[in-house]
Amino acid sequence: MQETIAKKTIYFLIDCSGSMQGNRADAVNIAMDKVMQEAIPAVRSQLNNNLELNFQFIGFSGAFPGGVAELMPPVKLEDINKWNHIPDSAFNGGTPTGAAINAVIADMDGSDLYRGDGVINKVADAIILISDGMPNGDNPTYEEVLLRAEKGRPDSSNNFRRALRVAIGISVDEDGRKSLEKFGKISASLQQKGLSAYYDCSEDYVDNFVELLKSMTVNLSVV
């Protein structure tokens, strides 16, 4: 009898637009360092042996071809080591958040259901979106991507709709906050733990951002 292995991916979507240069870029790199040093070991200590956990790190910027770029190669939990710092010079261009979400949807829909000897059971993935403001990409826009994904598309599965989704706004204004709030979606069990689908952070309070991102990584991994 084959052993059933559940498979899950945690996606980090990181805004690499020009407005993220400087303190906001520094905050992201500091927080991701701490995720690798402190949150990942905590996940390893709590994770069920029958869950294969993978991580992907995707940057989005109008300066990237197609609006998105891999910040690090996809990696399994047991192989993850350290964060590859994003240089400040890489933060440039606009904010094509819709392109980043489309890239995640395409990856979710293209993932293998079977691998090796064990049957892999696809469980709900999780997405952590980090941005400082309003999406401004088009063809399609951020709102169009979310609307199509939530309604379901003939060419797509329900993986994105099932995914746990948290948005973290860094020093956003009111319009940016309202936009990012549309992205978030978490389960009732996580809400009962006091978690939210959207969080405000500030580049001036890096420690708060670090602790939040560590907490989200652990909670979304082991749920």
Give the mean pLDDT of 188-207: 88
Domain range spanning residue 197?
4-222
User: What gap in Å lies between CA 189 and CA 28, rounded to an integer?
Assistant: 28
Among residues 1, 21, 100, 108, the alpha carbon closest in space to that of 59 is found at: 100
User: What gap in Å lies between CA 220 and CA 143, rounded to an integer?
Assistant: 24
Question: In CATH, what number is assigned to the domain containing residue 145?
Answer: 3.40.50.410
Q: Which range (18-27, 40-49, 54-63, 76-85) has the least confidence?
A: 40-49
How many residues are recorded in the chain?
223
User: What gap in Å lies between CA 169 and CA 2, rounded to an integer?
Assistant: 43
pLDDT digits 0-9 by tens, 80-121: 989 999 999 999 999 999 999 999 998 988 754 433 444 445
Rg (CA), the chain: 17
> What's the pTM value of the predicted model, to 2 decimals?
0.90
What is the number of other CB atoms lying within 10 angstroms of the CB of residue 102? 23
What's the structural domain count of the chain? 1
